[in-house]
Amino acid sequence: MINNAIRGVLFDLDGTLIDTAPDMALALNRLRLECNLAPLAFDAIRPQVSNGARGLLEISFGLSPGQMGFNALRDRFLQLYRQDIAHQSRLFNGLAPVLLEFAARKLTWGIVTNKPGFLTRQLLKELNITPSVVVAGDDLARRKPAPDQLIYAAGLLRLPLQNLIYVGDHERDIQASLAAHMPAVAVRWGYLDGERPIEDWQAHAIINTPAELLTFIDARYDARHTP
């Protein structure tokens, strides 16, 4: 049982806080068009968005980091993505009122993502989203599933790890959170890649809607104040 009151929330970005799949799919299919390939169906692309350029180039071109041609395709993909990074990307439905409730409760919130910093910060700026802290994939030497980014974010917020929760849509998010000894929440609305069932990730909670995040926070508060 987690019996520490929650004072802050950290979110993964792609597939948890912001629905970036439409714009990433658009960039990937533009790249395929440049390579004289037919577009991929959105339903085939969406589950890989949380795996970033690596996962998208794997399903689209069968290439992995270190293979010939991967770096050039990755750089072009990121260039195309950056051109229309916020064309269709939006907060997932139901998250806006949750963030407003955080403000009313004086709960701080931030983002910890493996997405490169230049893309992360451009996206947030274009969508006018202003978290208290942002830790991107290239800000530290190690990224998720290592716990370093979460520990660093907690330090920036000056909050104990046990008073934060991390919310994510990929098993690496939960692994990082557990390694940091931070309560972990897995979301069903994200880009579940099907590698392992979400029930096997060992998260402290699995939620179906953003509103359930407030329920989880309230439960931790009630547990802390139970005589």
Which active-site residues does the annotation give? 12
CA angle 56, 31, 41 (to 5 degrees): 60
**What burial class does residue 20 get, using C-beta atoms within 10 Å of its C-beta: 0-12 exposed, 13-18 middle, 19+ buried?**
buried
Token pair 């980014």: residue = 149
* 3-class secondary structure, 123: helix
Per-residue buried b or exposed e for 86-124, using 16+ beta carbons within 10 Å of the residue's own CB:
beebeebeebeebbeebeeeebbbbbbbbbbeebbeebb
Using alpha carbons only, give the angle 54, 114, 134 rounded to the nearest 5 degrees.
155
| Rounded-to-integer distance, Cα 94 and Cα 184, Å | 20
Distance CA 143, CA 107 (A): 25
d(CA 207, CA 213): 7
